[in-house]
């Protein structure tokens, strides 16, 4: 197996900088769209063969050094008792958003092997199919991100409901975080058992709370999940999008790798994070819409800024944009490999 | 006139820390809702007497040290040729979003005194009404923020259209920024002529581009506007929400005051910005939903972190949340005055 990605996670020497891309298993790939148009998003997530198929596609097409397990960030919420819906073109929503401590109390913390067996099965397929190729990364939403969806009930850019909840019902919010975190930990542990070679926590809404409140209402739960997962022995990646003020703290969450979004300078982030962690990121994703020369120049800049990192996994600072030409994504992979070998 | 705010802008000694709040002229005030329900948002913006009335309300009700001119962030776009609409509960939208260089070329850069005279008139009223009370701050959207609205055509949280435009049509985007910036500068200059005691540029979407691209596609235009406005002699405030990676650069934009959002630690921001600017911010707004004791504790923390600033204007890190009890907002004003006098 190409273990470059795993070596970089652990801060070991590598022959070149490994690369994969957030949302590489996504709509910009014609192969993905073919599956998606036939089956729809939820069926893809919940059918082991389909989830495995789209997870492998970017390994075949782009030559990335790791696969990211294709899954919904809200996979864990339906078994907890949330009525999750996907309406065409509208994203996820809940008919029964969390509004009170009583709503939190009604949520269950199920055994993921009983309720999320389709993920286990999909990853068993990946373990077999990717065995001699590249590692694959198991995946869950960060507990704050999942809790925020449960409270908002639908997409938002103001986050007024979750912020109101946090500041007016702090104990109920912590009870919610506790339940979500427990399931997140056992869900990721199940993925390691199924064969995930690394585990990543995507905390897309980590920037919704400022540094002080992040440290009270989010960070302790992330840290506890990661502590629980140490026994799996696989590298753990934490990506807290937008949590710029808490970088020094984020480096202490126990993860082997910290994801860095596009909105910070990578060398500055590395200086804040210290020497105990590797980093993953942070190319501006929309650079993928530019020319191959421009992509190469930007990749070179990111590589140069990563020089002082314990280990660096090249990635975007957010997901692959929808209109990305496949050739450009492929060119980025090749250019990162080539530039970093020198 | 209470000139504490203006002195803090210029980094002069003050007897206490002045305070005002972003969106203090807003829906959380019953007095505002009364006007709003009777006339509607656009009429309030465009009727000088109404705009002046709601601008003054928080001075009367809360005892803040500055008024912020009540206006829409998109005031300048209709005279440029954009078909701006406000549908109930949906926020602003455009029937003719900017998609190409040809669309940019069709935009005009009008004389604000001819097309935005209602703002001039409203501020003339304020100059008279607030003469012996507090300064009032003129206001415009940041050019990137305005340009982003023009391209997106409607509210967004992905900003995929504007990011696609920036990275695939960079020259057309710069042409758009040039036009928007020229009008922004003359619009703010008109406000200084009308009597604005300070001018603030609200760049709500400053975090949409990472530091490198911010420096190419946004910062030079902000800097040019501020340079143009130096002749007015009034203090200038720049608030680039979410632009955390570019803090050191932001401090060089020429503004007297830099707004700091809730998502950074104020002392760290001050250290990055250096000694040539005052700061304004950065209390987490949703703290206003908590108890008065909690509000006081958080205010104390912000004041302590501002100790090394050249000057500090207390403010929130974003707008006043809708459900804020008026008593709590008043308590914040009183507590900041009291704590900072000691």
DSSP string, A181-201: HHHHHHHHHHHHHHT-SEEEE
Nearest by CB to residue A264, choosing from B245, B321, B322, is: B245
Residue of A nearest to B264 (CA): A245
The predicted structure's pLDDT at residue B342: 75
Confidence of residue B246 (pLDDT cuts 50, 70, 90): confident
Q: Is any Cβ of chain A less than 8 angstroms from the Cβ of B317?
A: yes
Q: Is any Cβ of chain B less than 8 angstroms from the Cβ of A321?
A: yes
Residue of A nearest to B321 (CA): A160
Q: pLDDT tens for residues A105-129? A: 999 999 999 999 999 999 999 999 9
Structure tokens at B266: 């104020």
Q: Is any Cβ of chain A less than 8 angstroms from the Cβ of B281?
A: no
Per the CB < 8 Å rule, is B263 touching A207?
A: yes
- Mean pLDDT value across residues B220-236: 98
CA-CA distance, A122 to A117, in Å (whole number)?
A: 9
Nearest by CB to residue A321, choosing from B160, B209, B301, is: B160
CB of A280 within 8 A of CB of A318? no
CA-CA distance, B341 to B300, in Å (whole number)?
A: 12
Q: pLDDT tens for residues B45-68? A: 999 999 999 999 999 999 999 999
The predicted structure's pLDDT at residue B155: 83
CA quadruple B65, B66, B70, B72: dihedral sign: negative
CA-CA distance, B328 to B333, in Å (whole number)?
A: 9
The predicted structure's pLDDT at residue B157: 85
- Mean pLDDT value across residues B196-219: 97
The predicted structure's pLDDT at residue B248: 79
- Res B90 pLDDT > 80: no
Residue B251 to chain A, least CA–CA distance (Å): 16
Structure tokens at A269: 């982030």
ipTM of the complex: 0.95
Chain A contact probe: residue of B167, B272, B288 with most A CBs at under 10 A: B167
Per the CB < 8 Å rule, is B210 touching A264?
A: yes
Nearest by CB to residue A211, choosing from B157, B243, B265, is: B265
Chain B contact probe: residue of A167, A168, A304, A317 with most B CBs at under 10 A: A167
Residue in the structure block whose two tokens are 């709500």: B204
Burial (Cβ within 10 Å: 0-12, 13-18, ≥19) of residue B128: exposed
Residue A231 to chain B, least CA–CA distance (Å): 33
Chains A, B: CB contacts within 8 A come to 87
- Res A90 pLDDT > 80: no
The predicted structure's pLDDT at residue B228: 98
Per the CB < 8 Å rule, is A210 touching B264?
A: yes
The predicted structure's pLDDT at residue A246: 78
Instruction: For chain A, give the mean pLDDT.
Output: 96
Q: Within a 10 A sphere around the Cβ of B304, how many other Cβ atoms?
A: 11
The predicted structure's pLDDT at residue A249: 87
Q: pLDDT tens for residues A197-241? A: 999 999 999 999 999 999 999 999 999 999 999 999 999 999 999
Nearest by CB to residue B264, choosing from A156, A245, A284, is: A245
Q: Tell me the percentage of chain B whose pLDDT exceeds 90.
A: 92
Nearest by CB to residue A213, choosing from B157, B243, B284, is: B284
- Mean pLDDT value across residues A144-167: 95
Q: Is any Cβ of chain B less than 8 angstroms from the Cβ of A264?
A: yes
pTM assigned to the model? 0.96
Q: pLDDT tens for residues A236-288? A: 999 999 998 777 789 999 999 999 999 999 999 999 998 899 999 999 999 99
Chain B segment 235-254 residues within 8 A of A by beta carbon are: 242-245
Structure tokens at A185: 């930990």
Residue B172 to chain A, least CA–CA distance (Å): 15
CB of B326 within 8 A of CB of B292? no
Q: Is any Cβ of chain A less than 8 angstroms from the Cβ of B301?
A: yes
From chain A, the residues in CB contact with B264 under 8 A are 210-211, 244-245
Confidence of residue B249 (pLDDT cuts 50, 70, 90): confident
Q: Is any Cβ of chain B less than 8 angstroms from the Cβ of A293?
A: no
Residue of A nearest to B158 (CA): A157
Confidence of residue B277 (pLDDT cuts 50, 70, 90): very high
- Res A339 pLDDT > 90: yes
From chain A, the residues in CB contact with B284 under 8 A are 167, 209-210, 212-213
CB of B180 within 8 A of CB of B140? no
The predicted structure's pLDDT at residue A247: 79
CB of A213 within 8 A of CB of A152? no
Q: Is any Cβ of chain A less than 8 angstroms from the Cβ of B284?
A: yes
Q: Is any Cβ of chain A less than 8 angstroms from the Cβ of B319?
A: no
* ω into A43 cis (within 30 of 0): no
From chain A, the residues in CB contact with B210 under 8 A are 262-264, 282, 284, 317
From chain A, the residues in CB contact with B163 under 8 A are 286, 321
Helix (H, G, I), strand (E, B) or coil at B342: coil
CA-CA distance, A45 to B269, in Å (whole number)?
A: 42
Closest by alpha carbon to B281, among B307, B308, B258? B258
């Amino acid at each position: 197996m190409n273990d470059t990605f795993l070596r970089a996670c652990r801060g070991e020497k590598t022959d070149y900088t490994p690369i994969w891309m957030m949302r590489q298993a996504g709509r910009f790939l014609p192969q993905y769209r073919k599956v998606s148009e036939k089956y729809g998003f939820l069926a893809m997530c919940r059918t082991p063969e389909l989830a495995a198929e789209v997870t492998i596609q970017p390994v075949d097409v782009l030559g990335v050094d790791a696969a990211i397990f294709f899954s919904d960030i809200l996979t864990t919420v339906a078994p907890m008792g949330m009525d999750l819906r996907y309406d065409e073109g509208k994203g996820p929503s809940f008919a029964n958003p969390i509004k009170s401590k009583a709503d939190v109390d009604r949520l269950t913390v199920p055994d993921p092997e009983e309720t999320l067996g389709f993920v286990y099965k999909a990853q068993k397929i990946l373990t077999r199919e990717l065995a001699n190729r590249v590692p694959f990364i198991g995946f869950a939403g960060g507990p704050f991100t999942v809790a925020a969806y449960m409270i908002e009930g639908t997409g938002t850019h103001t986050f007024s409901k979750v912020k109101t909840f946090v500041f007016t019902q702090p104990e109920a919010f912590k009870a919610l975080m506790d339940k979500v975190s427990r399931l997140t930990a056992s869900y990721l542990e199940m993925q390691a058992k199924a064969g995930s070679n690394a585990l990543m926590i995507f905390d897309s809404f980590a920037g919704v709370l400022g540094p002080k409140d992040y440290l009270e209402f989010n960070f302790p739960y992330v840290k506890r999940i990661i502590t629980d997962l140490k026994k799996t022995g696989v590298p753990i990646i934490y990506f807290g999008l937008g949590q710029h003020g808490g970088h020094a703290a984020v480096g202490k969450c126990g993860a082997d790798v910290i994801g860095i979004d596009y909105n910070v300078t990578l060398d500055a982030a590395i200086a804040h994070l210290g020497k105990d962690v590797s980093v993953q990121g942070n190319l501006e994703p929309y650079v993928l819409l530019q020319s191959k020369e421009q992509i190469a120049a930007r990749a070179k800049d990111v590589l140069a800024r990563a020089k002082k990192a314990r280990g660096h996994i090249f990635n975007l600072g957010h997901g692959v944009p929808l209109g990305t030409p496949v050739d450009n994504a492929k060119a980025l992979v090749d250019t990162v490999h080539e530039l970093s070998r020198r």
